[in-house]
Each structure stands twice: as structure tokens, then as C-alpha cells.
Amino acid sequence: MTAVQRIREVISGLFMFIGALLLLTDPEYGYLLVVYLLAFILLTMGIRKLYYYFTMARYMVDGKESLYIGVILFDFGALTGSLTDIPKFYVLFYLIGIHAFSGLVEVLRAREARLQGASSWKFKLIHGMVDLLMAIICIMFINEGSIAVLIYAIGLIYSAVLKIISAFRKTRFVYIQ
């Protein structure tokens, strides 16, 4: 990693940490923040996809796909932001999905790294197991809305810590063929 990338990782980690603290301070307000954050992310993804279509993908074979996906994402984001009262149940499902999926990917990567003889497999495995554990906790507390915020905040803190740690790690590849 270059110096610039490391600084960017640290700053990004700090922002995530601050976001998590804000969520923990006020779970009820924080819950709304989670919803609006999701809406914002989806809107941004939609706009980026549309921008990508108009600047790049329209010149590509079957490039219209980007246009259609961008419009759907934008609509999804706008819909999410406009719903006045989303049952926390659904937010929890979304969080469970994200944590479970990313946890599974990390566990599979850890397996691959271990097969390659890389020492970083332990790090990946722990990361994956933590994400899966968070998903399980979400399911256990599915009927309690403020838990959604708590778990999301913990997830943010965890990711923030990992980002900052990885920023200070030596960039070495220790996978041995």
C-alpha cells in the first residue's frame, strides 16, 4: 500500500468510527439515520451507474444494461428514503443479509488462502466468523429495533478498526506456491 492509500484508509476508518459513535449515542434517531444512509447509498449508486452509462457504457456492446440498472437503483434509493415508517424488521433483514454474505465470502477466502499456504488466512477467517456471528445475533433479536442500530454500529466499529489496522500493516504477500 502506498502512503496515500494508507492515509485514506485511516481517514475512512475514523469517519466510520465517528458514525458508529453517533449511532450508539441515540439508537432511535440512529435507526432513521441507518435508513437514510441506505437510501443515500442506493441513490448514489444509481447516479454513478447512470453517469457511467453516459460517459462509457453507451459505447459498449449491450451497454444499455448500465442505464437500466442505474434507473432501478435510483428508484430503489428514492423509495427507501420516502417510506415514512419501515418496520425495523426489514432493516434487520437487510443487515442480516449483508453480514451473512460478506462473512461467507471471507470464510471462503480464508479457506483459499489456507490452501495456498498464506498466513493471513487466520485474519480472514476471524473476520468472516465475526460477520456471520453478527448475522446470527441479528436473527436472535429480530423483534427489537434498537438492536439493529447497535449491531450496525458494532459492525461499523469493527470495519473501522480493521481498516486502520490494515493501513499500518506491511504490504507483503506471504502466499507461498
Partner 1 sequence: MSEKEKEALVRRYKSNIRLNGRYYIFFGLWAAVRSFMMLTLDDSILKEAFAEMEVEEAIRGFVEFFVIVVLILIMLCILAIHFFVGISAIRYSRGKSKNRIFLLIAAIDIIVIVLSVPNDFPNGIRASAIAAAMVDITQVIMLGNMLYSVIRIKSLTEAAKE
Partner 2 sequence: MQEDFHYYATYAAAILAGYTHKESLDIAYSAQFVDLCSKTLLSKIKAPQKAATTQLQLEMMDARTDMVGLQDITRIWASFHFLPKDLYAEKAKRPKGYMRKYRLICGPNGELVKKTVELAKGRTLQHAGIAMHVLADTWAHSYFAGTPSLVINNTNDEFYELITIDGKETERKIKFRHNPGADDDLDKSLYTNSIYQGSEDSIMNLGHGRAGHLPDYSFAKYSYLPAWDDYNAMIKDNPSDYRKAFCQMIRALRFLRGDIEAFETDEYDYELIAPHEERIMQIITKRQLIASADWRAFGEELSGDTVDDFDINRYQDEYMAVENKDDSFLGKFINGAILHKGMVCRQIFESGNMLAGYVGEEKGTADR
176 binds partner 2 (CB under 8 A): yes
Contact 77, 39 (CB under 8 A): yes
161 binds partner 1 (CB under 8 A): no
The H-assigned helical ranges of the chain are 3-25, 27-55, 64-82, 88-116, 121-140, 145-168
Q: Which of residues 38-57 bind partner 2 (CB under 8 A)?
A: 52, 55-57
11 binds partner 2 (CB under 8 A): no
Using the rule CB under 8 A, give the single segment among 10-18, 69-77, 139-147, 169-177 that binds partner 1: 69-77
How far, rounded to the nearest angstrom, does the alpha carbon of residue 1 sit from its chain's CA centroid?
21
Cell (9 digits) for 24 = 450508539
- Residue whose CB is less far from partner 2, 8 or 71: 8
- Residue whose CB is less far from partner 1, 44 or 116: 44
64 binds partner 1 (CB under 8 A): yes
56 binds partner 1 (CB under 8 A): no
Give the helix/strand (H/E) hosting 74.
helix 64-82
* CA distance linking residue 34 with residue 27, whole number of Å: 10
